[in-house]
Structures are given as structure tokens and as C-alpha cells.
Amino acid sequence: MATHKITVTVNGAARAADVESRLLLVHLLRESFRLTGTHIGCDTTHCGACTVLLDGQPVKSCTVLAVQADGREVSTVEGLERDGKLHPVQEGFWEKHGLQCGYCTPGMLMTGCALLARTKEPSEQDIREAISGNLCRCTGYVNIVQAIQYAAAKLRER
Amino acid sequence: MIPAGFDYHAPATLSEAVALLSRYGEGAKVLSGGQSLLPLLKLRLGHAEHLVDIGRIPGLEYVKEEGGMLRIGGRTRESALEQSELIRGRYPILYDTVRVIADPLVRNLATVGGNLAHGDPGNDHPATMLALGAQVVAVGPSGERVIPIDKFFLGLFTTALQPDEILTEIRIPSPPPRSGGAYVKLERKVGDYATAAAAAQVTLGANGAFDHVGLALTNAGPTPVRSQDAEDALIGKRPTDAVIAEAARRAADASSPTPDRRGSVEYKREMARVLAGRALKQAVQRAGGQ
């Protein structure tokens, strides 16, 4: 089976890899690039723990081939913090207790970031719809919604 | 889970893609959004020697009205359909449908063409396309052909597409005045396949009676089910509760759901009846009828 030379821009930096056709994006990130912030949850396109941004859109990286990301931009949870300061969405999860076990959190953060990149003032319904592909088994979602609302307010202040 | 090995091809043009499919025949599969195909390969329920990714071919993603038709590029992502003002304003049945397909993350990659070409009776677009009387455009080695949607779904995961054909466009006749449509789905949770779902597209005449009706069901048999019998019961009649109830009963009678975790045959058929009635009523309302 053929391998492919690919270049993916991950969190702003170009990274090259030789990949098998069947390698999944989540494995490229976690195993080849050692970016283990992106989690593997259900591995069946349901739970959203593996959510990353592909050209700015949140997608489930367990259901994308690494080779499909060739020449494209991927953002992961590792890219959120800047100069030691948490991204407002991360800060919101901290302030509003938006997590318990933390397993779904990287995916929730990425989906939250993508939502706030396109909507400044999302309603509660907008937020609930946006995260409807990300499962959380701990929080009951209430604090996650509040965390994203916190981040939205914080971003509007900027 | 990791799929069994395959070769990956990313042709830059449609003709290259068709040539690859011709060369590899049954061993090749078209990769569009990958949101059904990749899970199948990972679970090893499906197998492919070659994946032909049409994602790098320009010009297959669009939503536009042209020549009395709505034209949707085969590789149009569900999220693009969802965000289209044209769809929201003029094709509410499609907006209803796209909003209940999988979840927003999946919709960022999943494509309209893929949803049809996969041939899964549990997918949501097929019933809607049956109700709308769509046409499917397929491109193969000998050029382009147009397949009426009624002739497209042949069996479980089987469509009229040949192994060397690519679904490039969906065409939907622009609805005349006094038309409306709706898609109503019962699902256990976001991302689930329908327990039952119904698509209805209607046009009312000047006297308020049904001029044209398309009615179809999701997950009600090995293929999406269009209910001609129910449609016939409506034509020429005014949309009263009794008339709609009779049509919904006929639609449910035409369904042959299988029992699973979502419910028994009796339950699913009953839900099909209820949803068919609701879809019809909402379609009538949107058409400006009573």
C-alpha cells in the first residue's frame, strides 16, 4: 500500500509526515505529532472527543484521513493558549466549571471556538445546537453552555 | 479502529476520477465527505482497494437556481446547504432535512451527493428528494446521464450508479407558487437515524385542493419509500384533516420497517403514520393552505 508525503499546517506551523493511506487524522496528530490533547473517545463518529478544526471548521478527526488534510490547516487544543494565557473559551471552562473528568473538553473547546469565531452573541439554543455533536457524560451541559457564554462575553469586550 | 489497507487517489479533475474508477472497477470507492464510508471501513463492514477522493476536484460544490431548477453540486457539504439563504427561503423541506442529518460536526464534512449515493434508507435526503421529484446527474466514462430519483434507489445500499460513475449534481424542479414542503423526523437523540421520518412536498391549486403531492418515508424499508398510493388519495382533494389522515394511513401501510432498538414494526409504522400526517399538514401550511 502506498504512502503519501503530506504537509499539514498544525496550529500555525507546517509539519510534514509520510503517512499510510489509511492513517486517520487523529492518529497523525496524537502519534506522529505527539499532540495528545485531542482525545479518542468512541472512535465511531459519535462523541466528538476528537474534534479539531480543519480549515477553521470543527470536524471529527477520527473520521478524516490524514492524507485528506494534506495542504490544509488543522487547529488543536494545544494551539488555543497564547503566551501562557488561556484562550477565553478555556478560561470560561475554568471559571464556570465546564468540566469534570475532562475527557470531552478538548473537543468541546474546539467546537466552542469555532462557534464564537462565526457568532459573537450566540443564544443558549445556538450553543446547545453547536455542541450537539460533542457528548459529555459528566456535566449535564449546563456549565459547558455557561462557559461558552462567558467566553462570548469576554471576546465581545476585546 | 483502523481500516484495512487501501490506496488513496486524489484526482484533480472529474475525468481523472472517472478514469481511476474505470481502471479499478468494483475495488474502488468514491470518497466524498467520508462520514459514512470511513466508519464503514473502520468497522470493516465495508472494504475498498482504492479510494478515489473527489474532494480536490473544483466545481462540485454549489447551490443555485438555474433554468427552473435548483442545482446542488454533488460534493456540496451539508453545512453549506444549511447555511444557504436560498434553501432556507425557498426550499424549507431541504432546510428541515439538513438540520436533522447527523450532527453539526458531521455536517461540516458530509455531502449531499454522498448522502444519496450511499443508498442507506436511514439517510434523510433520499425521502426528501423523492418527495421533491429530484433528478440525479451521474458522470461516467461515456459522459453524463440523468437518473430520475424514482429509479435511483434499487435496494439496501444499492443505487443505480455504476461503479465507474460519480454523482455530480442533484436537480430539483423549482416549486411553482402555492407550494410548500416539510420533513419531520423522530429520532432518539441528535445524530441518530430516524425511528421514522416523513417528507412531504405539495402544490395547491387555485381552489385550495392538492394539485401535486410528493410523500416519502425514511427508514421504512430496504429503500426509501415513496407512497404513490397516499399521493393519489390526495390529488384533487382539499386538505382537510380527514383527507390527510387517510393519506397518512396509506403511507404507513406502504412501509415495511424492521424491528430494532428504535422500536417494533408496529411502533415504527404507527410513527410513520403520525409523521406523514404532520409533514403533510406543515407542507400545506407552508403552501399557504389551511
A72 touches chain B (CB under 8 A): no
Average pLDDT over residues B122-138: 98
| φ/ψ (deg, to 5) at A44 | -130, 30
Beta bridge partners of A82: A85
User: Which residues of chain A lie closer than 8 angstroms to B191, CB-CB?
Assistant: 46, 132-133
Q: Tell me the C-alpha distance between B288 and A158, whole Å.
A: 46
The DSSP line for A76-101 is -GGGT-BTTB--HHHHHHHHTT--SS
Of B8, B79, B106, the CB nearest to A21: B8
Mutating which of A3, A4, A43, A68 best tests the B interface, going by the most B Cβ atoms within 10 A? A68
Kindly list the distances between the CA atom of residue A42 and the CA atoms of A26, A46, A49, A104, B238, in Å, as whole numbers in the listed order: 12, 6, 8, 11, 50
Domains of chain B: 7-56 (3.30.43.10), 63-173 (3.30.465.10), 179-284 (3.30.390.50)
For residue B228, give the H/E element and its range. Answer: helix B228-234
pLDDT of B129 strictly over 90? yes
Average pLDDT over residues B208-225: 96
A75 touches chain B (CB under 8 A): no
Average pLDDT, whole number, for chain B?
Answer: 97
Which pLDDT belongs to residue A158? 84
User: Smallest CA–CA separation between A130 and chain B, in Å?
Assistant: 6
Average pLDDT over residues B185-206: 96
Q: B144, B118, B120, B116: which is closest to B130 by C-alpha?
A: B116
Q: Domain A88-157, what architecture? A: Orthogonal Bundle (1.10)
Q: Tell me the C-alpha distance between B197 and B194, whole Å.
A: 6
Which pLDDT belongs to residue A132? 98
pLDDT of B289 strictly over 90? no
A3: nearest CA partner in chain B: B7
Q: How many CB pairs under 8 A join A and B?
A: 89
Judged by CB atoms closer than 8 Å, whether chains meet at A59 and B109 is answered as: yes
pLDDT of A108 strictly over 90? yes
Q: At what angle do helices B265-286 and B241-253 cross, to 10 degrees?
A: 140
User: Smallest CA–CA separation between B27 and chain A, in Å?
Assistant: 14
Which pLDDT belongs to residue A2? 79
Fold match between domain A3-78 and domain A88-157:
no
User: Which residues of chain B lie closer than 8 angstroms to A23, CB-CB?
Assistant: 2
pLDDT of A155 strictly over 80? yes
User: Which residues of chain A lie closer than 8 angstroms to B1, CB-CB?
Assistant: 43-44
Q: Give domain limits for chain A.
A: 3-78, 88-157
Mutating which of A1, A4, A22 best tests the B interface, going by the most B Cβ atoms within 10 A? A22
Of B6, B43, B104, the CB nearest to A1: B6
Which pLDDT belongs to residue A1? 66
Average pLDDT over residues B220-244: 96
Of A54, A64, A133, the CB nearest to B103: A133
What confidence category does residue A56 fall into, taking pLDDT thresholds of 50, 70 and 90?
Answer: very high
A71: nearest CA partner in chain B: B56
Looking at chain B from residue 35 to 74, which residues have their Cβ under 8 Å from any Cβ of chain A?
35, 38-39, 41-43, 51, 53, 55
What confidence category does residue A39 fall into, taking pLDDT thresholds of 50, 70 and 90?
Answer: very high
pLDDT of A125 strictly over 70? yes
CATH of domain A3-78: 3.10.20.30
